[in-house]
Structure 1
């Protein structure tokens, strides 16, 4: 039996992180009852983003162009490459205005229990990036078990290529996420990074 349009909407909303059946149902009811214009705008925006947003060929972040504006900027210091887990982490570091280098966004972190290994993070692209543009690599993964494991793995991999590797300082709370830290603490962590 085919799903009704409403059931299909509720099911589609469940793909969002942290959204269970009840939350998806509330969202669907709200959009249909109180904000049909918002629902149509959401649908259009989602379709446009899905069709036009890709990964930057240099930093792996989301971009509408093959090379994002940040990577194309001549004002950035190509001798520094900051590796972060997610785009939100890059945005947080940018908001501190303490880092003028380049970025590489992993789009995740090593998590064997979730089936995420080096292949899923496309670390070959990071290695190529570092080989093409030699630099100091600053590992700015989160201070979680998975983030620390990712940093350790990357440090070993990159040091084997003769690359200088540093890690942001632990001014951040252990178990904390970069996107939830105040910009002053994050700026201090970047400035006080240490070589691994």
Structure 2
């Protein structure tokens, strides 16, 4: 038995397909959209359409942009010899918020995952290797997540880049600020010890 009119049911189904959105959240979002004034709903739909039509990847770093080259790659004041490799465009935003990193990025758009059938040709590794061959890069910072897929991706890229003779580094891992040692897992604690530095 259908509880909602078919157009409403379809809207709920589309919201439910978004990551992290369950059935109840999808219903809440659908009814919120239905309660919007018509102009607001049209503006919302237009924003989705425009984002899909006008957003593509930067020819250099693969980050999302609406021009041929993203603003970070176009900024000549940034360190052109250092590339921070991240899995996702959202990771670029996280680094930029720190205002500490002044190099360039390379977005892989995923990580290696044999279980998920994601291999080297499914993410932007080839473009990274080409950049390093062409641009005179001196350091690559591997900043994939410290999970199984992220570690496998970092190791794979590290081995792939070895012949270039450049500096390859991995982000340090440790105890989060405000964390308590008793709640930290053994792997994180081991990494924190390995990555310790002099004060």
TM-score range, shorter chain: 0.7 to 0.9
Give the secondary structure class of the aligned counterpart of 1:90: helix
Q: 1:66 aligns with which of 65, 68, 73?
A: 68
* Structure 1 position 34, deviation (Å): 4.9
State the TM-score, normalized to the length of structure 2.
Answer: 0.80
Q: Which residue of 2 aligns with 1:158?
A: 161
Q: How do 1:48-127 residues align onto structure 2 when only pairs under 5 Å count?
A: 48-127=50-129
**Cα pair 1:134 1:163 within 8 Å, conserved:** no
* Aligned length, in residue pairs: 174
Partner of 2:172: 169
- Answer yes or no: is the 8 Å Cα contact 2:109–2:124 preserved in 1: no
Further displaced range: 97-106 or 15-24: 15-24
Of 144, 153, 178, which residue of structure 2 is paired with 1:141?
144
Cα distance in structure 2, aligned partners of 1:101 and 1:24: 39
TM-score by length of structure 1 reads 0.81
Partner of 1:178: none
Matched residue SS, 1:160: helix
| SS of the residue 1:113 aligns to | coil
- 1:32 is displaced (CA, Å) by 0.6
CA distance in 2, matches of 1:117, 1:45: 33
Matches within 5 A, 1:20-35: 20-34=22-36
Equivalent residues of 1:110, 1:117 under 8 A apart: yes
Higher mean alpha-carbon deviation, 122-131 vs 54-63, is at 122-131
Asked if 1:131 is matched to 2:133, the reply is yes
Moved over 6 A (4+): none
State the SS of the aligned residue for 1:143: coil
Work out the CA distance in 2 between the residues paired with 1:151 and 1:82: 12
Q: Secondary structure at the match of 1:153?
A: helix
The SS at the match of 2:122 is coil
RMSD between aligned residues: 2.1
